[in-house]
Structure 1
Amino acid sequence: MSTPSSSRLIESPRLAGLGLVTLLAACAAPVATPPPSSTPTMSQAPTPVPAPAAATTVTPPSLVSQANTPREYRQDGARHIYEKYAHRIFKGKMPPLLQGVGTMQLELDHRGDIVAMNWMRPPSHPGAKAEIERAVRDAAPYPAPVRMGRVVYTDTWLWDKSGNFQLDTLTEGQRDR
């Protein structure tokens, strides 16, 4: 048999609804966990604290080209190689017979780093070919083609037997004899 107070609870729909809401809220509440103790015990290892993520700073390229086309960039690329190898640039007009003439296509990414180096016409002298490839790699990074994002350009190397050279883009020409 029910008591007078319990029958009133059941008879009052408002109170029954309130009790149900309170019961559901209690079930949905997260269970509080006790704070960790300040000193670890033998069975409790200290929680490792992850190191803060290193800030990744992207340094802007030190050399920048404002060229809008590969043809314009060719000038910047040639000047860059001339600056790197000023001591190896042939002064004046090239002699009529060269040790090697090679045409290379160079592909650079947005930062001026070499993506691909392809010979369209390699020089016939193997020593010249190896020296040119080494010079091209060692001159990287090239001016960043900021307006184009990346660039593919072509230049012709004119190689003298002395080991000095000119690029067709900036050549002073070639003597007749």
Structure 2
Amino acid sequence: MKAAAALVSVGTALLAGCSAQKPDTQANRDATAKEIIEQVKTTPDGTSTADSLDAYKEDLARRISQVNSLKVHVERPQALLRSVIVIKYVVDKDGNLVRSEVVRTNKDKASEATALATLRSTAPFPKPPAALLSGGRVELSETWLFNNNGRFQLRTIAQPQKNE
């Protein structure tokens, strides 16, 4: 019995080592953001090449998810979500986050804080194309879908929810 328990412990340790992720530090987030920025299709001055507001919103959703990958639920969201948070936010012509506000919540303060923090930690964003700007800014909204484990997906790029 002890040998079997020891074998399980060794197997668990090996699996944990294989799936180890980089610690969630500012330096690692900055490095990840830099990699993502370099992958986003932009002009030499950092302007997004998205040709519509929906395409720009999808690019930003992917970037938010990648920069905050340790907080993202990677499988299909559960049927009954823990929390749904909608945030309206404004990005200026230089890609800076100008303003953000929660516009829909179920009063889950932890989920609200996570949603706002993940948005802030991702900025600055690729510059929006001039055609999308109104008064030097673009206004967007995104929905954070939280599972019971506290991880989220963004509705713009989320997988379909489970039925049960």
Helix, strand or coil for the counterpart of 2:144?
Answer: strand
2:86 is aligned with 1:103: yes
Distance 1:90 1:61, change over 3 A: farther
Task: Answer whether contact 1:61 1:111 (CA < 8 A) is retained.
Answer: no
Query: Which of 67, 72, 78 is equivalent to 2:50?
Result: 67
RMSD in angstroms over aligned alpha carbons?
2.0
Helix, strand or coil for the counterpart of 2:61?
Answer: helix
1:76 aligned residue: 59
Identity %: 27
Distance 1:63 1:157, change over 3 A: farther
For structure 1, the 5+ residue unaligned runs are 1-59
Aligned length: 118
Separation of aligned partners in 1, 2:44 and 2:152? 27
2:149 is aligned with 1:162: yes
2:70 is aligned with 1:87: yes
Letter in 2 for 1:168: R
Distance 1:108 1:128, change over 3 A: same
Task: Answer whether contact 1:104 1:120 (CA < 8 A) is retained.
Answer: yes
Task: Write 1 or 2 for the structure with the bigger share of helix.
Answer: 2
Separation of aligned partners in 1, 2:104 and 2:54? 19
Q: Which runs of 4+ in 1 moved over 4 A?
A: 60-63
1:63 deviation in Å?
4.7
Largest Rg, 1 or 2:
1
1:87 deviation in Å?
2.4
